[in-house]
Amino acid sequence: MFARAAASVAVTITLATIDGAAAQTANQPPDTMAARVEACTPCHGNKGEGTSDVYFPRLAGKPAGYLYNQLLAFRSGRRKYPPMNYLLEFLPDPYLEAMAEYFAGEHPPLPQPAPSEVSKDVLAQGELLATSGDASRNIPACVSCHGPGLAGMQPGIPGLLGLRANYISAQLGAWRYGTRTAKSPDCMQQVAGHLTEADVTAVAAWLATRAAPTNPAPVPKGTYALPFGCGSQPN
Amino acid sequence: MGSKLSTALLSIQLLALAALATAAQAQDKSSDIIARGEYLARAGDCTACHTAPEGRLFAGGRAMPTPFGTLYTSNITPDPDTGIGKWSADDFYKTMHSGRFPDGGLIYPAMPFASYTKVTRADSDAIFAYLRSIAPVSQKNKPHELRFPYDNRQLILGWRTLFFSEGEFKPDPKKSAEWNRGAYLVEGLGHCGMCHSPINALGGTSQSDAFKGGLIPMQNWYAPSLTSNREAGLGDWSIKDITDLLQTGVSMRGVVYGPMAEVVHNSLQYLNDEDTRAMAVYLKGIAEPSPPPPASSTLPTTESSLLISLGKTVYDKQCASCHGTQGEGKPPHWPPLANNQSIEMQSAVNPIRMVLNGGYPPGTKGNPMPYGMPPFAGLLSDNEIAAVVSYIRTAWGNRGTPVSAREANELRSAPLN
């Protein structure tokens, strides 16, 4: 009898505690990363899939190490884009890491490739540069680092699929002019330095026409060796 | 003989022990002073200016845009050639207290010596001891890029005559020790008046305007008055809400954003509970109710009522899911907008900028993963921004005035960093 009374008191207390906790969380935002990164979503989409604005990139499914490097670079101002520099300025490393992990772990479907606005010849030139490079001008193929499937490699090399031509060409341009830089040796700055305007247009256009592969996940670290040193992806 | 020798040995041993003890004590004392100096350097937020982005600690070189040109901050590491390695504690005190270099040269008042002059000699010495203890960095100071005639340092003499009164903090015997400690921190090392006081065309603040708020030059954020309860006056805040805001960046009444996020991030979050409480007590004490300003909207009534009705539509669609249909928010992370001084105050610069640019409160020990506000610059037109800001400034009993699309448009180009 006494035991039953005690048990029933215990149950009541437990229920009261749960009720209390529920009431408290009802007045609080959800304790999730999704709620914490809502500031990112107007430009990058709810799951990092990108938006209709061609200059805002897809984040979803990119390697966490790559995303983290970009967050650090925006926070310090090394990579210049004032709205991003401003948002991240006072956020600590572990939080930026958690944001990178969050978007790396999201896998919304890749968009349908957009019809290209350039000629077949330009697309063919883009394909040639992206898949074979141009040894005579010291231009490596995109696939030699970003992978045969262009899905990137863990932890630091991003995939190049699901991005619009304008974004890719803006980034290559930023590297050529030195407004986007990365850890030394800054491999992309070296590569972009060898590209002409026409090369940039062609490569960006061809990459944007690529259909989603069956598995868009970045390949594991060390799947292939990089042709040259890269500060963002120590071998 | 034997006993004499042993006595002598014993005394030598005792002396040695005493010497060891003194040495240990001295070491303790100097490491205590260094630790205190580090704490005080945080309270003074030295790093905000003297460390460049991705730069070495206190090696300077950070560009400080001012209405008069760009200043570059100096290297305050103990490097003898490029830093302050050859300085004495007297030299350091002189810069803090009098705004002059060891050779007597005048320092530009971007260095807040008008506030630091209130710092005690003991605290100045502790900060100096700490700066002596950090790694020296050999990095030459960059010359300032000031426009004529501001490149003439003699002009500083005029500024000093008008706006600088030298002298350590004098406690007010009629107030509590806690109030005085708070006043010392806020008026001295905290140099809160550098932003929270109106700055005139000469780049100075008159004593009578201290803490009365003003637009921060170059940054285009409004630093609200700390003395008016209609702005950021904390007269009707609880001490806990104030200390939460200062230490963690968020509170039940509102969160910090813009330049204040930097201050909490680099400085205030490191202050101990006693000092934070002292600042809260002082800040609460200097705030007073001020008469409401005349409700002077420059907008015609018909235009503002149209704006406000559009504003409610925008609000319900874009804002209510976090800030609540009644502006109640989910504090501390999603701040309330009803009865929020930052929304209602006369200057609408900050609410407009928050809608345009969004923002994160700083990540702090007490709030390491803050929730952020999305930027709406790309989603809403000037008219919609003006409408929603007009709505939140006037709904739910808020006593602000409507704003125009032109004001919203002008702030689209405000600098973000």
pLDDT (tens digit per residue) in A26-35: 689 999 999 9
Say whether A39 and B334 touch across the interface (CB within 8 A).
no
Question: Chain B contact for A35, CB < 8 A?
Answer: yes
CA distance A81 to chain B (A): 10
The last residue of one of the domains, among A108, A127, A150, is: A108
What residue in A sits closest to B355 (Cα-Cα)? A39
pLDDT digits over B269-324, tens only?
999 999 999 999 999 999 887 666 555 566 777 777 888 899 999 999 999 999 99
pLDDT at position B66: 86
pLDDT beyond 90 at A89: yes
| CATH code for the domain in which residue A51 is found | 1.10.760.10
A182 and A128 both lie in a single domain: yes
**Chain A partners of B371 at a C-beta cutoff of 8 Å?**
29, 35-36, 38
pLDDT beyond 70 at B187: yes
pLDDT at position A10: 43
| Residue A144: domain span | 112-223
Say whether B372 and A82 touch across the interface (CB within 8 A).
no
Say whether A87 and B370 touch across the interface (CB within 8 A).
no
pLDDT digits over B32-78, tens only?
999 999 999 999 999 999 999 889 999 999 999 888 899 999 999 99
Cα–Cα distance, A69 to A114 (Å, whole number): 28
Q: Which of A6-10, A95-99, B84-88, B378-382 has the lowest mean pLDDT?
A: A6-10
A187 and A116 both lie in a single domain: yes
- Mean pLDDT of all residues in chain B? 90
pLDDT digits over B251-273, tens only?
999 999 999 999 999 999 999 99
Per the structure, how many domains does chain A have?
2
Peptide bond into B149 cis (omega under 30): yes
What residue in B sits closest to A55 (Cα-Cα)? B378
Cα–Cα distance, B37 to B2 (Å, whole number): 52
A35 and A126 both lie in a single domain: no
A116 and A216 both lie in a single domain: yes
**Does residue A95 belong to any structural domain of this protein?**
yes
A215 and A125 both lie in a single domain: yes
Give the CATH fold of the B301-411 domain: Cytochrome Bc1 Complex; Chain D, domain 2 (1.10.760)
A vs B: CB pairs below 8 A:
86
Q: What is the mean pLDDT of residues A37-60?
A: 92
The residues near B238 (Cβ < 8 Å, ≥ 6 apart) are none
Peptide bond into A92 cis (omega under 30): no
Say whether B372 and A98 touch across the interface (CB within 8 A).
no
A50 and A116 both lie in a single domain: no
- Mean pLDDT of all residues in chain A? 87
Q: What is the mean pLDDT of residues B149-176?
A: 91
A72 and A124 both lie in a single domain: no
Comparing CA positions, the residue from B319, B281, B301, B288 lying closest to residue B396 is B319
B5 vs A201, higher pLDDT: A201
pLDDT at position B10: 55
The last residue of one of the domains, among A57, A89, A108, is: A108
- Residue B136 — very low, low, confident or very high, per pLDDT cuts 50/70/90? very high
The last residue of one of the domains, among A108, A141, A157, is: A108
